[in-house]
Amino acid sequence: MSDRNRRLVLAERPTGMVEPSTVRVEEAEMPEPGPGEALARVRFLSIDPTIRTWMDDAPGYLPPIAIDDVVRSGGVAEVVRSNTDRYSPGDLLFGMTGWQDYVIADEGERAMQSLPAGISPTVALGLFGITGMTAYFGLTDVGRMKEGDVVVVSGAAGATGSTVGQIAKIKGAGKVIGIAGGPEKCGWIAEELGFDATIDYKGEDVAKRLREEAPEGIDLYFDNVGGEILDASLAQLAMRGRVVLCGAISSYNDRGALSGPANYRSLIIRRGRMEGFIILDYVERFPEAQAEMAGWLASGQIKAAEHIVEGLERAPEALNMLFTGGNTGKVIVQV
């Protein structure tokens, strides 16, 4: 075990994509666990678009990452030394690890959870983590998906979107339409994940294709991207259609004022509802979703699509992939 802790700290706030100057690699002393604390070696990092939003000095659902602080991130870590009965050496824990080699887990604010039995670290960060929970509760609770619904999801070959489409199929959607960038991604979600129809937003006219694929209208649009795709979906909303605002990745790299959806009047005419959510509000209900997810995983009804990037120092590159579309499925850094 090395006696140094590599830490990736926020050196300056990015104005667009994360640049080499955004994050600095530092070597610090190995943290020493105090009473009631454990030292854990970080094994995997969950790479999420929201990390980019935390780098901005802007109001959000969590405070911005301070300059010179370790970049905030979820992850899985293995306990190496412990001064508490709560954690034992060898335990795999998940929680907020940050982009670094070692993390201290305590019994209070920095407490971490044990991995559910039989669940691999990467699945814990994907289907059983924020990604899977976001897909599940966004679709079932915020979107109130019903059997027979025509469901459209953007970012459909990404971590959340690919899970949304699969859950919608399992829960009896009438038709699941995925919007993704490029023919390869569209082919993958149709052939491997069972989406009924796909739209390549980079090569096709999304508004026209939505009219073709959902001629009676969209009952539920799960929005991961915002911008023009949100607008096109609003224009094709069915009566009492629901729009779930999960994310707006098309604008996370932008500075300045954003323009709102031009087609919002569809909500009036079609008596629709558009609602945003933050998955942290559902933490107490995670076990119910995880129980269902475990059943689907065991029966092969759901697939965990993962995109593994090797090496802590590649975390910034992995984060940028989410914005260039370089990933298929959940991006995880293996430290």
Q: Interface with ligand NAP by CB under 6 A: which residues?
A: 48-50, 130-131, 134, 155, 157-161, 180-181, 185, 224-225, 246-250, 277-279, 322-323, 325, 327
Determine the residue type at 62.
L
Tokens at residue 204, please? 């096709």
| Least CB distance to ligand NAP at residue 135 (A) | 8
- Beta carbon nearer to ligand NAP, 49 or 165: 49
Q: Which of 33, 178 has the CB closer to ligand NAP?
A: 178
CB of 27 to ligand NAP, least distance (A): 29
Cβ atoms within 10 Å of 196's Cβ, excluding its own:
17
Distance in Å, CB of 103 to ligand NAP, minimum: 21
Q: How far is the CB of 95 from ligand NAP (least distance, A)?
A: 16
Q: Taking CA 178 as the corner, what is the angle to CA 177 and CA 180, rounded to the nearest 5 degrees?
A: 150
* CB of 31 or CB of 182, closer to ligand NAP: 182
Pick between residue 79 and residue 218 the one whose CB is nearest to ligand NAP. Answer: 218
The residue among 98 and 247 lying less far from ligand NAP, judged by its C-beta, is: 247
Minimum separation from the CB atom of position 15 to ligand NAP (A): 17
Distance CA 261, CA 279 (A): 23
User: Both tokens of residue 58?
Assistant: 């802007």
Identify which of residues 47 and 92 has a Cβ nearer to ligand NAP in the complex.
47
Report in angstroms how near the CB of residue 158 gets to ligand NAP at its nearest: 2
Q: What b/e string do you get for 155-178 counting C-beta neighbours within 10 Å, with b at 16 or more?
A: bbbbbbbbbbbbbbbebebebbbb
**How many CA atoms within 13 Å lie on the side-chain side of 166?**
27
Q: In whole angstroms, what is the distance from residue 328 CA to residue 186 CA?
A: 11
For ligand NAP, the closer of residues 264 and 323 by Cβ is 323
CB of 208 to ligand NAP, least distance (A): 17
The rounded distance, in Å, linking the Cα atoms of 23 and 51 is 12
Tokens of 242: 């629901």
CA distance 31 to 314: 22
Decide the pairing of beta strands 113-114 and 102-105: unpaired
